[in-house]
Amino acid sequence: MTDSVEVRRGAYHDSVSLMQASRTVAQVPGVGAALVAMATGLNIELLTGMGFATPEDAGPNDLLVAVRAEDDAAHQSALAALAAALLPRPAAPGALAEQPARTAGSAAARRPATLAMVSVPGRYAFAEAMDALEAGLSVLVFSDGVPVAHEVLLKDAAARRDLLVMGPDCGTAIVAGAGLGFANVVVPGPIGIVAASGTGAQQVCCLLDAAGVGVSHVLGVGGRDLSIEVAARSTLQALAALDADPATEVIVVVSKPPAPEVADRVRAAAGALGKPVVLCLLGPGLPDLSAAVAEVLRAAGREAPAWPRWAPPSPHEPRTGSLRGLFCGGTLCDEAMIIAADALGPVASNIPLRPEWALDASLRAPGHLMIDFGEDTLTAGRPHPMIDPSLRTERLLAEGDEPGSAVVLLDVVLGYGAAADPAGDLAPAITAARATATAADRDLAVVVSLCGTEADPQGRDRQATALAAAGAAVFGSNAEAARHAVSLVRRR
Amino acid sequence: MTALENPPFPGGCPGPAVATTVAGAASRRLKDVIDGPVRGATVRAAFPSAVYLDTGSGVVAVVARDGLRLPISVLVTATSNRSPFAAVRAGDPATVGGGRLCARELEVTVGRWWNPPRPPALVRPEHLPARAARLARLLSARRRTLCYPVAMRLNRLGGALRGRHNTEDAPAALVGLGEGLTPAGDDVLAGVLLALRHLGRPECADLLWASISDEVPRRTTALSAALLAAAAAGDALPQVVDLLAALAGHRPVEPALDRLLAVGSTSGSDIAHGLLAGATGP
Amino acid sequence: MTAPLHGLLASEPAVAAAGIDLLADALDAQAVPVERVDWRPPLAGSEAALDRVMADPRRAAGNRTALDRVLAVSPCLVDVRPATDVLGLQPGHFLHAGPPINWARASGPLRGALIGAALLEGLAGSPEEATALMESGEGITLEPCHAHRTVGPMAGVVSPSMWMFEVADADGGPDGARSFCSLNEGLGKVLRYGAFGPEVLERLRWLSQVLGPLLQTCVRSHGPVDLGAIIAQMLQMGDEGHNRNRAGTLLWLREVLPDLIDSGAPPADVAAAVGFIAGNDHFFLNLGMPACKLALDAGRDVPGSTLVVAMARNGTDFGIQVSGTGDAWFTGPAQVPEGLFLGGFGPDDANPDIGDSAITETAGIGGFAMAAAPAIVRFVGGEVADALAATRSMYEITLAEHPSYQVPIMSFRGTPTGVDVTKVIRTGILPQINTGMAGKVAGTGQVGAGLVNPPVECFTAALAALAAAAPPLAGS
């Protein structure tokens, strides 16, 4: 095997396209390993970790092409496969064909748009989002890593123009039926959602769908909107917009508990609206999301159903060892930690409930722990784990080998934006991890929180069946999944 | 023309194996038929901006972005000048169900659902007669009159609605009256039903619909029957909903009427006459 | 009652998407119309300054103000007068194209033109004497044309005895702003390309002694000539206003011909003047340029505006000026154009880019209107599609579409007008300039014509200055 590491200057591609290209190249016969990625710090670390030489003088605007091939022919095939994978989208034929727009403003000028979606690397998101606002569009900023001062500037510039900034770091929105970012397929209905949490909003949408109740809009506001600095700028605009929207009958706000003075402003604004507002604030001592959805349903004059579950028949006896939560969705991780910590005590995490429970960069610790693989530092320069679950899958396999681990709790999020077949990726790893544990005379329980609707492209029931067949207990309610996982851990 | 009986279709797409799949956004009125099991259908009509699939128990319209957004539509993003339905002809076999629609090379996968628009609630009902009078004056000023037989029968129906005389057969006399895919009599009836539903007399809409719903499938085209059923439930084209919103006191009547008059050759004006009749209370 | 957020929640959704393709694909799958942005990172190293300038609250309104002023100008030819009268030039005072430069750094064609001008003004008896005078610098003042409301094609040298076109806004009144440009000398061996032989000087003397006074009489009797109207028409007749001015020249001549004939000048002079103008396809360039200059000068000095108000080259440096940064020049090395060469000349004979004529591109014609003049594409051996592509790509870096300068083949779309420094930085797309090429050895004259771009440094330097001039961020 020989290694080659090439740095292509100024050749930009988005991280998802590069992940797909990496995968294509790695599958070329004779290729042992491959990484095609922008040369961010994290990706250079990844490259070094794979045993490649570290390139000198490569910056985040340069493309890394690293290939480990058994001979020159394989190397050439790998490069040819890469070239094919990175071909530009075919342009419309003919001399009069338009060239693609190069800025959000230019795109907006070409065809009437109601909204811009910005998912460029966070370092560059501010300029693009400002441009969209100046073109008269509300904008969803999917990108993370935007400084809070820039967030405030964007939101003030938007408010002056009667536009809305959703984000930064807004993973989920549904606007007039269009699912943006990570969004489940739901029927239109009376519930309007304002969400500072993407996966929180997805969980609420999916539970409402399970209860047969549709959603008018999900207006994401970004995880920091309810902080003291941002002071609920977008939340207050979104509340007013939903209040005026004839399709919305009940409004739900999904967030972590905001700073008290911000919470007061939101409560005051909510109280002044003509429609009922339910605050789903996720925190210790507060109702979980499933309970909050039940309250929403009551406000809409409906009863909460039993949440769907696909539990395997095996008896669930508590076992000795610790609970390991491996999550893609930050809010789902948070909710599970709150439930677990309440029953089991300290839970170490990279998004810890208390500072003293923080995990170090190795993400390893004895005892109960939960990792949010979607956290900013784990997604710099690489796709979100809902799109590329490989880091999480590796960790699941490692937990099979970990003598102390007794129960693994996983979330699987379906819908637009998410991987095409998450269960197809995860089920073999669940089987393998359980088999590894069994070989070491341990019984590793796997619990899955499945956030999706039957209308999602992946099909909720199909995914649930595949996961259950691999030996996982599958729950539609994240809170129920977490409680089930906790019940499997013997308390000391 | 009555709806043909369609044999159940075993599944898959009829026609050539290679289909171009496009995404569609479907009216929620169609949820049951589109998400239900795959069944056979027939292409009733094919135009540059729309094709109509008759399932035997209803009609699904597949509509280009610039076409009419009927409440029984699946919208695709292509505009009619891109000829999205060029391969489809009237009489072609089709299938509907399993989240998809197929007709020859056209395959539409539904990826989004929308609710047909509804007008806001009636405000200041005491001003409704003035708004209706304005509508009547504008229709007259634009010389958009009904053809004689329809006008005569609508007159009788109007009298019945105002409770002046008992004419139980008045609504039925309009069903299927006229020519084309949506006969003028049906357009008028749809307007009456919608105005009753949204401008303060929903119980009259229910009674009116109950008096004709059995006869509708036998006496008019499948498309017109499906649109009448939608109108009875309160759903209509956005242009109609706009004029209803104007009559309900939320926007000016004139521009809303002008947008509606641009629909079809006479359909828009026929519906407007129906709205006027339904808005003119006892 | 208007719905909040401009009716966002009630409108049929349609999205402009920049970034991850997969997210745009998901919109396709939902039948949501989506316009994709082919997004790429901005020019490396400019990120912080770009954020700073994008955050400047004065920028958007400033650009609107500057652009409105530019587009409101209706340029008219109002007079023809000697430079010494209109610019107050004294003997030894020379104007040149591009950003400021001294003799030592001046390129061959600029030196050639200065030698020729010194001979014309009688400051030296031979080219050698003229060279020595310029080297010594005694009694010599060199200044950019742009500093005197003037533009000059190629070397752009203006000396006191030259006659100038005087352009004013139709609505500006007697004291309104003015712009100036010398009379075009024709093609081949000419001063503006750095030639200074006897035939060059002879033609310059004829321009001052015969053509200038004749045109003065003619323009004064005609009254203001609407140059904006001629530019609008010439774009619809296959000209782009920089490298092709054939239709514009004839339109202008047609306009003033009766007054020219009726000027009372000897018929032989009139015939010579008409023959000279009609035989010089670039005669109108020297009218189009001051028309563009007058419009752009109106957009100067708007705080926060990122509008480029001048692009000019002196044969050594390429420089730009920006509305929000006053008279500062932002420069980088001028590039050698790519294109076709005359006779036996080749790329090695060509001097780097020179001339104020990029004022046409700055105003939205020239290379920006390439689609209006498909014939120009042959300068680079390209196809008609390349002309369309060139104009289309300029919309990505401009602020507006010109209301009256239109491109017929693009359904009369207005030309891309008003280069925005931030858009150049964000897209990495550089302005497309059509230009003539001068020989690099003084005295050679024209060697070809082609296409060229400004160096990127002009824009990164301008961005840094705009960032430095931006007010502090609130809360930081």
How many beta-carbon pairs under 8 angstroms link A with C?
A: 220
Give the pLDDT score at B7: 40
Give the pLDDT score at B6: 41
**Residue A168: cis peptide before it, omega within 30 degrees of 0:** yes
How many beta-carbon pairs under 8 angstroms link B with C?
A: 24
Examine the pLDDT at A93 and tell me if it is beyond 50: no
- The larger pLDDT score, comparing residue A409 to residue C476, is at A409
Examine the pLDDT at A126 and tell me if it is beyond 90: yes
pLDDT over 90 for what percent of chain C? 86
Q: List, for residues C406-419, the tens digit of each pLDDT value.
A: 999 998 999 999 99
A238: enclosing H helix or E strand: helix A233-244
Q: How does residue A23 score in pLDDT terms, banded at 50, 70 and 90?
A: confident
pLDDT over 90 for what percent of chain A? 72
Examine the pLDDT at B165 and tell me if it is beyond 60: no
Distance in Å, alpha carbon of A299 to nearest chain B alpha carbon: 21
Give the pLDDT score at C47: 93
Give the pLDDT score at C239: 95
Q: In the structure encoding, which two tokens stand for residue C398, read together? A: 């401009």
Give the pLDDT score at B12: 46
pLDDT, mean of residues B130-134: 95
Give the pLDDT score at B275: 96
Mean of per-residue pLDDT scores for chain A:
91
Q: List, for residues C178-188, the tens digit of each pLDDT value.
A: 999 999 999 87
Contacts of residue B22 in chain C, CB cutoff 8 Å? 31
pLDDT, mean of residues C126-151: 96
Interchain CB contact of C33 with B (< 8 Å): yes
Say if residues C414 and C167 touch (Cβ distance below 8 Å): no
Say if residues A457 and A291 touch (Cβ distance below 8 Å): no
Q: List, for residues A204-249, the tens digit of each pLDDT value.
A: 999 999 999 999 999 999 999 999 999 999 999 999 999 999 899 9
Q: How does residue A279 score in pLDDT terms, banded at 50, 70 and 90?
A: very high
Interchain CB contact of A160 with C (< 8 Å): no
The residue count for chain C: 476
Give the pLDDT score at C385: 86
Give the pLDDT score at A492: 61
Q: How does residue A32 score in pLDDT terms, banded at 50, 70 and 90?
A: confident
Residue B35, judged by CB atoms within 10 A of its CB (0-12, 13-18, 19+), counts as middle
pLDDT over 70 for what percent of chain A? 97
pLDDT, mean of residues A45-70: 86
Choosing among A185, A218, A245, which should be mutated to test the B contact, i.e. which has the most B CBs within 10 A? A185
Give the pLDDT score at B42: 95
Distance in Å, alpha carbon of A458 to nearest chain B alpha carbon: 12
Tell me which residue in B22, B77, B109 faces C33 most closely, judged by beta carbons: B77
pLDDT, mean of residues A394-417: 95
Q: List, for residues C347-373, the tens digit of each pLDDT value.
A: 899 999 999 999 999 999 999 999 999
Q: Interface partners of C (3+ CB pairs, < 8 Å)?
A: A, B
Give the pLDDT score at A257: 82
Examine the pLDDT at A395 and tell me if it is beyond 70: yes
Q: List, for residues A411-434, the tens digit of each pLDDT value.
A: 999 999 999 999 999 999 999 999
Residue ranges of C 382-411 with Cβ closer than 8 A to chain A: 383-385, 388-389, 392-393, 395-396
Give the pLDDT score at C379: 65
Q: How does residue C474 score in pLDDT terms, banded at 50, 70 and 90?
A: low
Examine the pLDDT at B109 and tell me if it is beyond 50: yes
Contact B23 C30 (CB under 8 A): yes
**Entry pTM:** 0.88
Give the pLDDT score at B161: 78
Distance in Å, alpha carbon of B70 to nearest chain A alpha carbon: 17
- State how far Cα C410 lies from the chain centre: 23
Angstrom distances, CA of residue C90 to CA of B140, B144, C136, C159: 79, 79, 18, 8
Choosing among B115, B118, B244, B251, which should be mutated to test the A contact, i.e. which has the most A CBs within 10 A? B115
Phi, psi torsion values for A18, nearest 5 degrees: -70, -35
CA-nearest of A223, A491, A259, A218 to A351 is A223
Contacts of residue A175 in chain C, CB cutoff 8 Å? 8-9, 13
CA-nearest of A302, A293, A336, A294 to A204 is A293
Give the pLDDT score at B151: 87
Q: In the structure encoding, which two tokens stand for residue A131, read together? A: 């441009």
Q: List, for residues C275-312, the tens digit of each pLDDT value.
A: 999 999 999 999 999 999 999 999 999 999 999 999 99
Give the pLDDT score at C276: 96
Examine the pLDDT at C318 and tell me if it is beyond 70: yes
Q: Which of A18-22, A199-203, B202-206, C376-380 has the lowest mean pLDDT?
A: C376-380
Q: List, for residues C432-461, the tens digit of each pLDDT value.
A: 999 989 998 887 878 888 899 999 999 999
Q: List, for residues C186-199, the tens digit of each pLDDT value.
A: 987 899 999 999 99
Longest CA pairwise span in chain A (Å): 74
Residue ranges of B 144-203 with Cβ closer than 8 A to chain A: none
Give the pLDDT score at C3: 86
Distance in Å, alpha carbon of C115 to nearest chain A alpha carbon: 45
Give the pLDDT score at B8: 41
The Cα–Cα gap between C297 and C172 comes to 13
Angstrom distances, CA of residue C411 to CA of A96, A108, B22, C363, C368: 11, 19, 30, 20, 16
Q: In the structure encoding, which two tokens stand for residue B77, read together? A: 């993003």
Distance in Å, alpha carbon of C293 to nearest chain A alpha carbon: 27
Distance in Å, alpha carbon of A444 to nearest chain C alpha carbon: 35
Say if residues B242 and B202 touch (Cβ distance below 8 Å): no
Give the pLDDT score at A17: 80
Q: List, for residues C216-270, the tens digit of each pLDDT value.
A: 999 999 999 999 999 999 999 999 999 999 999 999 999 999 999 999 999 999 9
Q: How does residue C380 score in pLDDT terms, banded at 50, 70 and 90?
A: low
Give the pLDDT score at C449: 86
B272: enclosing H helix or E strand: helix B267-279
Quickly tell me which residue has 């609630």 as its tokens: B121
- State how far Cα B32 lies from the chain centre: 18
Interchain CB contact of C138 with A (< 8 Å): no
Q: List, for residues B2-48, the tens digit of each pLDDT value.
A: 333 344 444 444 444 456 789 999 999 999 999 999 999 999 999 99
Interchain CB contact of C2 with B (< 8 Å): no
The Cα–Cα gap between A421 and B121 comes to 45
The Cα–Cα gap between A401 and A56 comes to 36
Contact C427 A102 (CB under 8 A): yes
DSSP state of A38: E
pLDDT, mean of residues B59-69: 95
Interchain CB contact of B120 with A (< 8 Å): yes
Contacts of residue C27 in chain A, CB cutoff 8 Å? 117, 178, 180
Contact A246 B35 (CB under 8 A): no
Phi, psi torsion values for A450, nearest 5 degrees: -105, 110
Q: List, for residues C73-105, the tens digit of each pLDDT value.
A: 999 999 999 999 999 999 999 999 999 999 999
Residue ranges of A 165-224 with Cβ closer than 8 A to chain C: 175-181, 183, 216-217
Examine the pLDDT at C32 and tell me if it is beyond 50: yes
Give the pLDDT score at B2: 35
Contacts of residue A183 in chain C, CB cutoff 8 Å? 26
Distance in Å, alpha carbon of C462 to nearest chain A alpha carbon: 17
Give the pLDDT score at A318: 83
* DSSP bridge pairs for C150: C180
The Cα–Cα gap between A402 and A409 comes to 15
pLDDT, mean of residues A457-464: 95
Mean of per-residue pLDDT scores for chain B:
88
Nearest-Cα residue of chain A relative to residue C54: A127
Angstrom distances, CA of residue A61 to CA of A46, A57, A130, C22, C155: 17, 11, 21, 20, 39
Q: Within 10 Å of residue B106's Cβ, how many Cβ atoms? A: 25
Q: Within 10 Å of residue A449's Cβ, how many Cβ atoms? A: 29
Q: How does residue B168 score in pLDDT terms, banded at 50, 70 and 90?
A: low
